[in-house]
């Protein structure tokens, strides 16, 4: 009886609603999503396959196909009619939460492509011009042209400060070559943002990624406060070691002494190399064993993957979910060293957080990671084990002097993360300020930030567009901060897992052989897919919104 009465009430309410309001948002949303899937899903799969093939073969025809498929997809998302429908749905959201979330995600996906076509064409042309300038640029020192890797090699090994300075200054000259184009590009990007109703391009890009510029900057302020002291302590150690290497006083250290042209990576200052241990490790076997042991087997991924070097193939590494139906693959170029152990743990970390472990009940539109920062976070959470002797030994690998390995590896990891976090501060703040006012003195802004966050000295009297020598500002704009937020996510999830499952302190944790790790990760991190926005997922998994505390307690205070 009760059920019947309830049903009648529902019908009554529905009847009234239908009479008063002819637009049924739930039904409209359902129809839109079905149509979207029918039109876009096959193309998304083709685009993923084309991308995979191009990276494996390196052939012109495969790259052409990749570009064509991507353009086709972009054109469909740029159509104004479906976007108008989405706008209407956004204003009058479906009541069903899952439908509403899909509308939100699709709205942002289509919105990104709604920029005026002529402006988009000009922006692409400018961005290509800058990239081209990067590709053809060679640093020229004492009449000799140097490739990018030669520059890096010299900055890594040469002991002559005067020569280092020449090489460093020469490699920064690309900034002057692209300065005018980059400024013009920033102004055009701002125009595009204004067309879509945003204050500037940086604010728009963050919004499209479900982030708020003010909140991200506040998070980076918190990170700054928590890591400043530990960073300064780590840098003092590095400075002392470098000064000794170059046979100069610490206060004579200049940007060209830090090996990486931007000091985004730690200089090598340790006697011990982790590669000695890894030269004897079967990396694939270790990955297979590790992931199976934590209840997240990856044999199916490896079977579809392309893992070793060959001619024409991309030299990097990535993981891709081809169809959101479980076809997940990794591209790698494995050689037995620590870098590739970490990289394979990283890429396979992406692979377990994919449609392989997100239930089919999650609708197609939402069947992927919550955000780029959450999948980077998971990958980095697993990657760190390559720097633990305890982990290696639990995998059956004999480590010669485990205390020495651990002491070195721990410092390497600490230096790497602290240095990277300070560098990300510079990138985020520079990009936010660049788009807020592209006409300001950008040369000065860049060095003000480098001094403040990285603690490197500005060469006396230097007035050059050094920011322009970082290609990401052109080709991956307003993106860099996500790597750092991924690190915060990795630490925060690791702490929650230690608290709730492993019951050990975070710096003692070893996941090896514990299937409860995979079970918890599946339930708390993977299963929601994109049904939750990234910060909602962070709260669901860890009980708190994303913050810098766990990271700082791992690598800082
Ligand atoms: Zn990654």
Q: What is the pLDDT of residues 261-305, one digit of tens each?
A: 999 989 988 878 888 899 999 999 999 999 999 999 999 999 999
For residue 347, report the distance from its CA to the centre of ligand 1, in Å: 6
Looking at residue 290, its pLDDT comes to 98
Q: Distances in Å between the alpha carbon of 440 and those of 183, 435, 436, 443, 445?
A: 10, 10, 9, 9, 8
- pLDDT band (50, 70, 90) for residue 134: confident
Tell the residue number behind the tokens 């922006």, with chain if given: 123
Cα radius of gyration (the chain): 25
Torsional class of 275: left (φ above 0), alpha (ψ -120 to 50), beta (otherwise): alpha
Looking at residue 9, its pLDDT comes to 39
- Among 34-38, 146-150, 228-232, 451-455, which stretch is predicted with the lowest mean pLDDT? 146-150
3-state secondary structure of 139: strand
For residue 423, report the distance from its CA to the centre of ligand 1, in Å: 18
For residue 349, report the distance from its CA to the centre of ligand 1, in Å: 8
Residue 22 CB contacts under 8 Å (≥ 6 apart), including other chains:
none
For residue 14, report the distance from its CA to the centre of ligand 1, in Å: 47
Spatial contact of 526 and 358, defined as CB atoms under 8 Å apart: yes
Residue 69 CB contacts under 8 Å (≥ 6 apart), including other chains:
43, 46, 47, 50
For residue 297, report the distance from its CA to the centre of ligand 1, in Å: 19
Q: Distances in Å between the alpha carbon of 348 and those of 105, 330, 496?
A: 26, 7, 21
Neighbouring C-alpha atoms within 13 Å toward the C-beta of 205: 21
Query: What is the pTM (predicted TM-score) of this model?
Result: 0.91
For residue 378, report the distance from its CA to the centre of ligand 1, in Å: 9
DSSP 306: B
- pLDDT band (50, 70, 90) for residue 4: very low
Mean of the pLDDT values across residues 399-410?
A: 91
For residue 35, report the distance from its CA to the centre of ligand 1, in Å: 32
For residue 202, report the distance from its CA to the centre of ligand 1, in Å: 22
Tell the residue number behind the tokens 């990657």, with chain if given: 383
Alpha carbon 407 to chain centroid, angstroms: 28
Looking at residue 270, its pLDDT comes to 86
Distance CA 475, CA 189 (A): 12
DSSP 468: G
For residue 502, report the distance from its CA to the centre of ligand 1, in Å: 25
For residue 488, report the distance from its CA to the centre of ligand 1, in Å: 14
Residue 161 CB contacts under 8 Å (≥ 6 apart), including other chains:
246, 248, 252, 254, 256, 257
Distance CA 130, CA 189 (A): 14
Confidence check: pLDDT of 5 > 70: no
Spatial contact of 218 and 483, defined as CB atoms under 8 Å apart: no
Spatial contact of 189 and 275, defined as CB atoms under 8 Å apart: no
Spatial contact of 402 and 390, defined as CB atoms under 8 Å apart: yes
Q: Distances in Å between the alpha carbon of 437 and those of 130, 164, 175, 432?
A: 20, 34, 19, 9
Mean of the pLDDT values across residues 245-249?
A: 95
For residue 267, report the distance from its CA to the centre of ligand 1, in Å: 22
For residue 466, report the distance from its CA to the centre of ligand 1, in Å: 27
The C-alpha angle with vertex 259 and arms to 253 and 261, in degrees rounded to 5, equals 100
Looking at residue 16, its pLDDT comes to 42
Surrounding ion ligand 1 within 5 Å at CB are 376, 379
For residue 520, report the distance from its CA to the centre of ligand 1, in Å: 21
Element (H, E) at 368: none
- pLDDT band (50, 70, 90) for residue 129: confident
């Amino acid at each position: 009886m009760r059920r019947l009465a309830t049903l009648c009430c529902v019908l009554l309410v529905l009847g009234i609603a239908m009479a008063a309001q002819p637009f049924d948002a739930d039904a409209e949303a359902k129809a839109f999503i079905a149509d979207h899937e029918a039109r876009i899903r096959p193309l998304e799969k083709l685009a993923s396959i084309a991308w995979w093939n191009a990276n494996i073969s390196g052939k012109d025809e495969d790259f052409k196909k990749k570009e064509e498929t991507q353009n086709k997809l972009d054109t469909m998302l740029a159509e104004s009619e479906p976007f108008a429908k989405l706008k209407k749905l956004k204003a009058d959201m479906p009541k069903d939460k899952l439908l509403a979330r899909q509308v939100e995600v699709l709205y942002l996906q289509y919105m990104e492509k709604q920029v005026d076509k002529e402006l988009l064409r000009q922006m692409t042309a400018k961005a290509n011009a800058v990239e081209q300038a990067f590709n053809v640029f060679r640093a020229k020192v004492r009449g000799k042209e140097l490739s990018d890797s030669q520059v890096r090699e010299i900055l890594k090994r040469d002991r002559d400060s005067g020569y280092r300075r020449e090489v460093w200054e020469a490699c920064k000259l690309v900034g002057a070559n692209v300065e005018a184009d980059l400024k013009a590009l920033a102004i055009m990007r701002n125009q595009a943002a204004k067309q879509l109703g945003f204050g500037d391009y940086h604010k728009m890009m963050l919004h499209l990624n479900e982030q708020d510029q003010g909140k991200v900057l506040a998070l980076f302020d918190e990170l700054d406060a928590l890591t400043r002291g530990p960073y300064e302590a780590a840098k003092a150690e590095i400075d002392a070691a470098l000064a000794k290497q170059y046979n100069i006083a610490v206060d004579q250290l200049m940007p060209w002494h830090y090996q990486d042209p931007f000091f985004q990576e730690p200089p090598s200052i340790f006697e011990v190399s982790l590669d000695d241990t890894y030269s004897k490790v079967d990396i694939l076997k270790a990955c297979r064993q590790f992931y199976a042991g934590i209840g997240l087997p990856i044999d199916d991924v490896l079977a579809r993957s392309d893992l070793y070097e060959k001619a024409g193939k991309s030299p990097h590494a990535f993981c891709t979910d081809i169809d959101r139906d479980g076809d997940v693959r990794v591209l790698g170029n494995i050689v037995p060293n620590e870098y590739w152990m970490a990289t394979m743990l990283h890429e396979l970390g992406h692979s377990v957080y994919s449609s392989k472990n997100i239930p089919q009940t999650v609708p197609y539109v939402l069947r992927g990671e919550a955000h780029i920062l959450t999948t980077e976070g998971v990958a980095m959470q697993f990657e760190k084990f390559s720097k633990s002797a305890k982990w290696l030994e639990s995998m059956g690998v004999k480590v010669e002097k485990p205390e020495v390995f651990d002491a070195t590896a721990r410092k390497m990891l600490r230096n790497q993360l602290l240095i990277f976090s300070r560098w990300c501060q510079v990138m985020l703040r520079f990009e936010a300020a660049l788009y807020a006012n592209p006409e300001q003195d950008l040369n000065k802004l860049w060095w003000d930030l480098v001094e403040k966050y990285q603690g490197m000295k500005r060469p006396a009297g230097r007035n050059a567009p050094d920011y322009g020598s970082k290609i990401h500002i052109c080709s991956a704009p307003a993106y860099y901060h996500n790597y750092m937020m991924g690190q915060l996510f990795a630490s925060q999830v690791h702490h929650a897992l230690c608290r709730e499952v492993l019951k050990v302190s975070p710096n003692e944790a070893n996941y090896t052989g514990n299937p409860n790790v995979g079970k918890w990760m599946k339930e708390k991190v993977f299963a929601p897919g994109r049904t939750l926005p990234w910060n909602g997922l962070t709260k669901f998994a860890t009980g708190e919104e994303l913050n810098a505390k766990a990271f700082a307690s791992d690598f800082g205070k």
